[in-house]
């Protein structure tokens, strides 16, 4: 019974959003569980160059952010998890605190920095700002994973003359596939769903991402609320996340449970 409740609580909002996206006009106010499906809103989205452009921007920004976050985070995590240096624990605490900073705290400072770099109203500005959240997050998570690996592997490699970089690339990296997959997916979701920075640092339709594009969907008049179109857009932008999670499902589960059991 508890499982059925959890499934209903988790899946019903998505079902309701999909059903609402296939209703036209007054049909939105009818509560039929299986209405006559009408995919007009989806066809309108596909034919809308502004929405499709924002979808491409989101893919580019989220993918680039995830890739850079894993590279930077993995290097930092290895240093924090394996190399002994003064104030290492303090550094970990700083990484954790930065990862939970509210976005509004750094918004004005990042705005000045973006303008100084000449990146305002460019997708690269979003990549730079998203790294503020994803790099501390990936660093903290990957540090936990790296600490679980036996030191004997590295000690044997050091005896054979391997450098720290070679140990990371040749020994630890092949073993961290599940960990990187799970961390990368979470970083991708953070970048994909981000709204505040995308709204602040982009100005034109050509450079906006999907969350902002959905928020700016307007009706044919100021008295019309385009509820069906918004639901169709929301379902559409959720599909890439579902596909990515299903594709990496086994690695995500293995990565999230890594280090849970010792021995």
Q: Which of 19-28, 58-67, 75-84 is predicted least confidently?
A: 19-28
What confidence score (pLDDT) does residue 105 get?
Answer: 85
More confident position, 96 or 205: 205
The model carries a pTM of 0.84
Tokens, residue 70:
């894993």
Instruction: Give 38-256's CATH code, choosing from 1.10.3720.10, 3.40.50.10490, 3.40.50.150, 2.40.128.30.
Output: 1.10.3720.10
Tell me the average pLDDT of the chain. 83
| Length of the chain counted residue by residue | 263
Distance CA 193, CA 198 (A): 10
- pLDDT attached to residue 33: 65
* Distance in angstroms (rounded) separating the CA atoms of residues 212 and 195: 6
Res 256: pLDDT: 58
Work out the pLDDT band at 263, boundaries 50, 70, 90: very low
Per-residue model confidence as pLDDT tens digits over 140-186: 888 888 888 777 877 788 887 888 788 878 888 888 878 888 899 98
Please tell me the least confidently modeled range out of 108-112, 147-151, 188-192, 259-263.
Answer: 259-263
CA 152 centroid distance within chain: 34
Taking each helix axis from N to C end, the angle separating 249-256 and 177-193, rounded to the nearest 10 degrees, works out to: 100
The SS3 of residue 162 is coil
Task: Count CB neighbours of 241 within 10 A.
Answer: 15
If one compares 253 and 160, the residue with the highest pLDDT of the two is 160
Domain ranges of the chain: 38-256
User: What distance lies between CA 56 and its chain's CA centroid?
Assistant: 15
- Alpha-carbon separation of residue 189 from 45, 77, 175, 198 (angstroms): 22, 21, 23, 14
């Amino acid at each position: 019974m508890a499982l059925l409740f959890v499934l209903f609580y988790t899946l019903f909002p998505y079902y309701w959003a999909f059903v609402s996206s296939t209703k036209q006009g007054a049909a939105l106010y009818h509560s039929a569980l299986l209405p006559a499906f009408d995919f007009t809103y989806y066809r309108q989205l596909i034919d809308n160059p502004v929405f499709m452009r924002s979808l491409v921007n989101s893919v580019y920004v989220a993918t680039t952010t995830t890739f850079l976050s894993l590279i930077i985070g993995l290097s930092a995590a290895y240093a924090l998890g394996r190399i002994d240096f003064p104030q290492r624990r303090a550094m970990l605490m700083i990484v954790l605190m930065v990862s939970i900073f509210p976005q509004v705290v750094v918004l004005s400072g990042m705005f000045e920095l973006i303008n100084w770099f000449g990146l305002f109203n460019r997708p690269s500005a979003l990549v730079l700002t998203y790294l503020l959240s994803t790099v501390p997050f990936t660093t903290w998570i990957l540090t936990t994973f790296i600490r679980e690996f036996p030191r004997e592997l590295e000690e044997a490699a050091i005896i054979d003359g391997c450098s720290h970089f070679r140990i990371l690339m040749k020994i630890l990296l092949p073993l961290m596939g599940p960990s990187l997959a799970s961390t990368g997916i979470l970083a991708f979701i953070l970048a994909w769903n981000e709204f505040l920075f995308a709204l602040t640092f982009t100005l034109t339709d050509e450079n906006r991402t999907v969350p902002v594009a959905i928020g700016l969907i307007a009706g044919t008049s100021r008295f019309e609320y385009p509820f069906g179109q918004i639901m169709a857009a929301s379902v559409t932008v959720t599909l890439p996340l579902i596909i990515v999670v299903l594709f990496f499902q086994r690695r995500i589960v293995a990565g999230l449970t890594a280090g849970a059991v010792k021995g």
